[in-house]
């Protein structure tokens, strides 16, 4: 799986809309972009994923650049509960064997102030 | 819904000791993973398994063994615990046809 680059940390205030960037300049055509978040003392939790089109769900909006070399996770109106480490990872879709290998980087730590 | 259960939640070992961590999932998922997370750092893949009795090495397999004797369980063995080692070991699973990963709450290891 190709590597991703994220900022080490970002700060925000409750009620703001937060844009978390992720760079994946060497992404392959069959790699999906996944976002997970992790709060202290727990394992990561799935947030969203996409291939080419922007996607939205109850947790976040994922904006994918037209060349797919970067993406942005957008969290509208953040609350204190959104404070977490956000991981952006890539995964080859629906392949057995080495395609099942999933690696996580350090992620980006989002701090939310009252 | 399902759940991933990791046991024990906390594990204290002695230097040189062989330690085993267990993971059970009732999702009926095909693929299971073991990750190690050190304080303030990312998750490093130790082993994964795409089906019962399958084992694939991750980026950090040296010093570890793993076993997938049943589809629902995946165990990890630290072959020789290192003094002052402290980390959280996370188990995860997913079904090949479903792209989401589900994680357990982790086993926190401390070595005296």
Give the chain A residue whose CA is nearest to the CA of B89: A43
**Which of A43, A84, A89, A107 would you mutate first to test chain B, the one with the most B CBs within 10 A?**
A43
CB distance B103–A43 less than 8 Å?
yes
**Which of B37, B43, B93, B99 would you mutate first to test chain A, the one with the most A CBs within 10 A?**
B43
With a pLDDT cut of 90, the percent of chain A lying above it is 75
Whole-number pLDDT of residue A94: 55
CB distance A43–B48 less than 8 Å?
no
Q: Which residues of B touch A97 (CB under 8 A)?
A: 50, 56
Nearest alpha-carbon partner for B96 in A104, A31, A101, A29:
A101
Whole-number pLDDT of residue A100: 67
Nearest alpha-carbon partner for A56 in A85, A26, A35:
A35
Nearest alpha-carbon partner for A64 in A78, A53, A75:
A53
Cα(A73)–Cα(B49) distance, integer angstroms = 30
Is residue A106 a contact partner of residue B41, using CB atoms and an 8 Å limit?
A: yes
The string of DSSP letters for A83-107 reads -EEEEEEEEETT--GGGG-------
* pLDDT tens-digit readout, B4-20: 999 999 999 999 999 99
For B8-58, where are the E strands, in sequence order? 10-13, 19-25, 31-37, 43-49, 56-57
Which are the contacts of B80, defined by CB distance < 8 A and separation ≥ 6? B16, B17, B18, B63
CB distance A42–B103 less than 8 Å?
yes
User: Phi, psi (5° rounding) for residue B16?
Assistant: 85, -10
Q: Residue A55: is it exposed, middle or buried by C-beta count within 10 angstroms (0-12/13-18/19+)?
A: middle
**Which of A100, A108, A111 would you mutate first to test chain B, the one with the most B CBs within 10 A?**
A100
Cα(B61)–Cα(B66) distance, integer angstroms = 9
Going by pLDDT thresholds of 50, 70 and 90, the confidence category of residue A21 is very high
Q: Residue A23: is it exposed, middle or buried by C-beta count within 10 angstroms (0-12/13-18/19+)?
A: middle
* pLDDT tens-digit readout, A29-39: 888 899 999 99
With a pLDDT cut of 70, the percent of chain A lying above it is 90
End-to-end CA distance of chain B: 38
B50 compared with A74, residue with greater pLDDT: A74
- How many CB contacts within 8 angstroms connect chain A with chain B? 67
Give the chain A residue whose CA is nearest to the CA of B96: A94
């Amino acid at each position: 799986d190709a590597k991703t680059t994220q900022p080490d940390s970002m700060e925000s205030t409750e009620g703001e809309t937060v844009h978390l960037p992720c760079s994946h300049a060497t992404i392959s055509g069959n790699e999906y972009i996944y976002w997970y978040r992790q709060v202290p003392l727990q394992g990561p939790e799935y947030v969203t994923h996409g291939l080419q089109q922007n996607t939205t769900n109850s947790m976040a909006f994922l904006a994918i650049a037209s060349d797919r070399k970067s993406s942005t996770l957008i969290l509208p109106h953040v609350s204190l509960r959104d404070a977490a480490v956000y991981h952006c990872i890539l995964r080859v879709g629906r392949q057995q064997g080495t395609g099942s290998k999933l690696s996580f980087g350090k992620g980006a730590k989002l701090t939310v102030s009252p | 819904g399902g759940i991933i259960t990791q046991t024990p939640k906390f594990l204290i070992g002695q230097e040189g000791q062989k330690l085993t961590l267990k993971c059970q999932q009732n999702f009926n998922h095909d693929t299971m993973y073991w990750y190690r997370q050190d304080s303030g750092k990312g998750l490093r893949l130790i082993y994964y398994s795409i089906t019962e009795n399958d084992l694939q090495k991750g980026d950090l397999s040296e010093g570890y063994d793993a076993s997938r004797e049943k589809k629902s369980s995946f165990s990890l063995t630290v072959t020789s615990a290192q003094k002052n080692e402290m980390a959280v070991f996370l188990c995860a699973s997913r079904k090949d046809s479903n792209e989401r990963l589900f994680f357990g709450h982790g086993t926190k290891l401390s070595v005296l």
